Each structure stands twice: as C-alpha cells, then as structure tokens.
Amino acid sequence: MKTVFITGATGYIGGDVLSQLIAKYPDFTYRVLVRGTEKAGQVKARYPSVEIVYGSLDDIPVLETESANADIIIHTADSADHVQSAEAIRAGILKGHTADRPVYWLHTSGAGIFSYLDTDEGTYGIQREKIYNYLDGIQDILTIPDHAFHRAVDKIALEAGEDYPHIVKTAIVSPTTVYGRGRGACSQRSRQVYELATRTLEQQNAPIIGEGKSIGCSIHIKDLTNLYGLLFDAALSNSSNLWGGEAYYLAEDGEHCWGDLAREIAEIATRKGYIPAAGFEAASWGLNARCRAYRARKPLGWTPKAPKLENDFPDIVDEEWKRLQSGTA
C-alpha cells in the first residue's frame, strides 16, 4: 500500500484534499503534519486511521524523514512561500528515493505569481491584458522574475523534477481565488472573497482599489481538489508525461473583475438588510492574476463542474454575516 505524506491537512485546501483521498483510497497510509494536539485530535476524530506527525514547516529533520519514506507527497501548508520546507522535502527525497523507487511531489503554489508587474510598478486597480497559460506560453511562466510571489519555492520543486526526473516526479498546482465550503476536519473557509465580504459588512462599503478594474480568476474548492485527485491517480498509474520541470497546473474556472465583485457583494448585503446602501472604499483587492488552465484540462481531462464564484456570492455574504453576529470572525 502507498504511503502519502500531506502538509496542511488541517487547512482549507489540504483538508479538502485529504477528505477525498481517504474516501477513495481508504487503505493507504496517510501521514499528516500537525503542529498541535487540538487540531490533531480533530483530524483523528474524523479519520482514525490517519497517522499524526507532530511538527511544523520549520522542523527540517521531520520533513526530510517523512519525504524520504513517502510514496506521494502533497505539500499545501504555507507551501507557496516557505523556502526551507521545500528544500527539506527535496533533501529528504534525494536521501530516500532512487530511480527504482521514485516519489511523486504535488506542490501547491498560487496565482499570485502572475501579479508581479502590479507589485513592481505599484499599479493597483488597473486592468492588464496579459493572460498566462501553459500550451503556448510556458516560457512566460518559467521566466517570471525570481522576486515574484511564490517563484523562489516553485523553482525548488521544478528544478528537482528537472534535475532528477527518474527520482522525483513533480507537479505544481497553482490555485487562483478559491471559494466554496471545504470538507476538511479543521478549516472549511477560504479567505480572499470571504474577507472582502467581512470587510464590506463591517465597514458598510465596498472595498475597491484604484479604478477597480484588476482581473483575477477563481476556482471552487471541489474542482481544485478534483485536480489534485487526477494527478494523484496519474501518480498511481505511473503516467510519465505529466511531471517535471515544466509541470505547471493552473486551476481556474473563469475570471472576475475585483471592482465588480466588490460592488456585487455590497449590493447583496444591502438587499439582505445587513448594511445600508453601500459606498466604496479603497482597499487591497487590486492585483491582476490572469491565467488559463489548459494543461489541466487537456492532458488530464480535468473539467470544473462546481457553481461559478458569482453563484456563491449570496451564501458567502450569509456565512460572513453569521460569523460576525456570532463573534467568531
């Protein structure tokens, strides 16, 4: 049976991925990195067979040992920007694996890597036309400057797959704005749109930055987890053409304008009577991150099926209103 090592299983993405893998492959060994006993208890209560590995991303020997022993590694805990943990995973892989016993490494990045021009130039709230995709623009992705969000860690995973292709099979999953209720044991709530809704309810205005024309993409948590599932299945079947130094899997199911999204959230909150007629306030939802998930759709056959982001707006507003009223926000 396979041994699967997961970081971030108490989080939103990692928890959802774990829930679906256990449902499909209950006999595998799942070892999950957890920092404290409270969340470990929540995971064990939901999944008694899961093996808890106590530690954090700063516990390098722990990460090296688990990576050396695992057949499949799924890194989701602060994975996009924690350099030391990625280096530890790579080191463990090289210590414990050979061409006769390769390992599959599913690394979680993020679409923030595509927003570097906005942060470099301080151009928040404008619309950019550049759309990143794999099929005819992989070099545009691979040559993004090293100082961009997530780039330093992405390079560690990609270079491991390129330098040691017979030992480690790497794939990078880059979610865009994730939404929808998660199915994990500890965290079921996303952040970006939900925090925007919370701020709208608290401040009674729509947070918009600059012209409010910046464009992002979105993906439902169920569709994102299905992408991980397809890559997991490909690892089990030893598919050979999906991994390596160019294996970026972007996860999106359409675009949204941040300014329009903020206005719609405010209008829904007003219609529900949660706030009076909303005004507008400058805020930080102003970065462009445009991409297309061609590699996920074509080679893997991934097809998003969950409701679009805009269809979830009423539920998001209701959930955040209830959190505020209960004092848990």
Tokens of 186: 């500890």
Residues 6+ positions from 61 with CB-CB distance below 8 Å: none
Q: How many CA atoms lie within 13 A of 261 on its CB side?
A: 29
In the CATH scheme, what is the code of domain 3-326? 3.40.50.720
Please state, rounded to an integer, the average pLDDT across all residues of the chain: 95
Instruction: Say what the alpha-carbon torsion angle 234, 240, 242, 247 is, to the nearest 10 degrees.
Output: 130
Q: What is the pLDDT of residue 143?
A: 95
DSSP three-state, residue 139: helix
Amino acid at 137: G
DSSP three-state, residue 290: coil
Residue 145, phi then psi, degrees to nearest 5: -55, 150
pTM > 0.85: yes or no: yes
- Report the Cα–Cα distance between both ends of the chain, in Å, rounded: 41
Which segments of the chain have a pLDDT < 50? 282, 284
DSSP E strands, the chain: 3-7, 29-34, 51-54, 72-75, 103-108, 132-133, 168-175, 177-179, 205-207, 215-220, 248-251, 255-257, 279-281, 291-292
Pairwise CA distance, residues 291 & 315, whole Å: 26
Pairwise CA distance, residues 245 & 107, whole Å: 12
Q: What is the pLDDT of residue 136?
A: 78
Of 323, 308, 15, the C-alpha closest to 177 is 308
Q: How many CA atoms lie within 13 A of 175 on its CB side?
A: 25
